[in-house]
Structure 1
Amino acid sequence: MQAGQVPTFTESARRTQIMNCAIEVLAESGYSGASLAEIARRAGISKSVVLYYFSGKDDLLASVVSDVYGRAGQAIAESLSRHVSPGDKIAAYVRTNLHFLEEHAAEIHAVVEIVSNARGADGTHSFAPQGEDPVLAHLEQLLRDGQDSGDFRTFDAHHLAIIIRSAIDTVSGRLVVDPSFDLAAYTRELLAVVELATVTHRTEDSS
């Protein structure tokens, strides 16, 4: 398809099918096994059809990353919109992230394969954030909002955001390699840790 061309319903459906097949191949065979030929075979089409919808492998994989990130972001935004207090928003942020990882394990596995392995001509990671990481910045702002309202104690919002994001991001790999991993228990414990790390704990009067 030409750049800027608005796809028809049928074309959008075909693009989605190809991306879904790319996700299946990436989740099963990893980045090295995700050739355009294999993705086309999985979709039951020729490689030339794939190249009609995507300019090449890099374009296809970038579209997969953008699509998965976009759906995750939408789910998080919708969840946060249903809550008012900073504590409830942070809890919703954690729960929704972890639930998305569980419900979309193949997509997350595929994205991890892409982000970890795709490199540009200069050897740098293709999907490394340029400047401020928007995902981290969003969480950091949620933490700062809680501090500004007085609901959260004084802490380094930037580094606590890194800690929370790291605890969330590690789940994608754990779900793949550890069949015994109990996500419900992990979610409960992470929520408890986040509450202890953020909420202002007022001591009771001794009188």
Structure 2
Amino acid sequence: MTSRRGDGTPTFTEQARRGQLIECTIDLISTKGFPATSLAAIAERAGLSKAAVLYHFSSKDNLTRATLSYVLERFTSYVEEKVAAAPDPHAAVVAYVRAMVGYQRDNRRHVRVITEMLLDDADGTRLKNPGGHDTAGRWNTLADLLAAGQRAGALREFDPPTVALAIGGAIDGVIGHWLVHPDLDLDAAADELETFTLYAIEKRA
């Protein structure tokens, strides 16, 4: 996008409008699905013309990529903040698991955007990866935390990437069930995921 300032920096008004369009896109993707979220629908939700939307984002693809980046940046920042506050590597792993569940519990619309845009659909015919986001390596951060815990002598010996995949799969399974069955108690599920994680990583006599 080019700015009316002429220096490539969006004005305050332009930033606010871009934020509005991203929020409208989140609403539509989370309720209607990614394929049904058209540029016209976004414009209607925002109360703007399509031309006005295209002024801020030159295409639906650019707008949805910006929306996904917005969601992922906030998710990542939240988890990183919780992990950074942990007093030791052992606690950092627990903080990571709880942050992953806690953010998704509190930001259901964001979870829908991520699942709609990054994950396979039921029959495996669609794999969205807008903007080159790394879906295959999304548990690398957890693997790094596990490896750090091993180096500190706080965790048993195991293969960090494999255990990260197992823990990540458990988190995905719980969140996937919750999306279909929102009456699931995610706080209780987080307790169980913490117990599962500790059993998988802690040293045993």
TM class, shorter-chain normalised? 0.7 to 0.9
| Residue in 1 that maps onto 2:2 | 2
Contact preservation (8 Å) 1:109, 1:172: no
Contact preservation (8 Å) 1:23, 1:64: yes
Corresponding residue to 2:201 among 188, 191, 198: 198
Q: TM-score, normalised by structure 1?
A: 0.87
Contact preservation (8 Å) 1:109, 1:173: no
Distance 2:129 2:106 in 1: 26
Q: Given the superposition, is the C-alpha separation of residues 124 and 195 from structure 1 closer, same or farther in structure 2, using an over 3 Å criterion?
A: closer
- How far the C-alpha of 1:130 sits from its partner, in A, is 5.5
| Residue in 2 that maps onto 1:44 | 47
Deviations 1:138-185 (A, max 9, x none): 111100001111110011111111111222233443232103211011
Greater displacement, 163-172 / 76-85: 163-172
| Residue in 1 that maps onto 2:162 | 159
Contact preservation (8 Å) 1:64, 1:111: no
Q: Given the superposition, is the C-alpha separation of residues 76 and 189 from structure 1 closer, same or farther in structure 2, using an over 3 Å criterion?
A: same
Contact preservation (8 Å) 2:90, 2:149: yes
Contact preservation (8 Å) 1:31, 1:117: no
Superposition map of 1:31-70 within 5 A: 31-70=34-73
- How far the C-alpha of 1:131 sits from its partner, in A, is 9.5
| Residue in 2 that maps onto 1:79 | 82
Distance 2:69 2:19 in 1: 12
| Number of positions where the alignment pairs a residue of Structure 1 with one of Structure 2 | 197
Distance 1:102 1:147 in 2: 30
Greater displacement, 7-16 / 149-158: 7-16
Deviations 1:76-109 (A, max 9, x none): 1111121121111011111111111011101110
Between the aligned residues of both structures, percent identity stands at: 33
| Residue in 1 that maps onto 2:94 | 91
Any stretches of 5+ residues in structure 1 without a counterpart? none
**2:147 is equivalent to residue 177 of structure 1:** no
Any stretches of 5+ residues in structure 2 without a counterpart? none
Distance 2:169 2:120 in 1: 19
| Residue in 2 that maps onto 1:146 | 149
Q: Given the superposition, is the C-alpha separation of residues 149 and 130 from structure 1 closer, same or farther in structure 2, using an over 3 Å criterion?
A: same
Q: Give the alignment's Cα RMSD to 1 decimal.
A: 2.2
Distance 2:115 2:135 in 1: 20
Distance 1:174 1:161 in 2: 20
Deviations 1:1-45 (A, max 9, x none): 229821122111111110110111111111121000001100111
Regions of 4+ moved over 6 Å: none
Contact preservation (8 Å) 1:101, 1:171: no
| Residue in 2 that maps onto 1:25 | 28
Contact preservation (8 Å) 1:117, 1:125: yes
Distance 2:127 2:88 in 1: 40
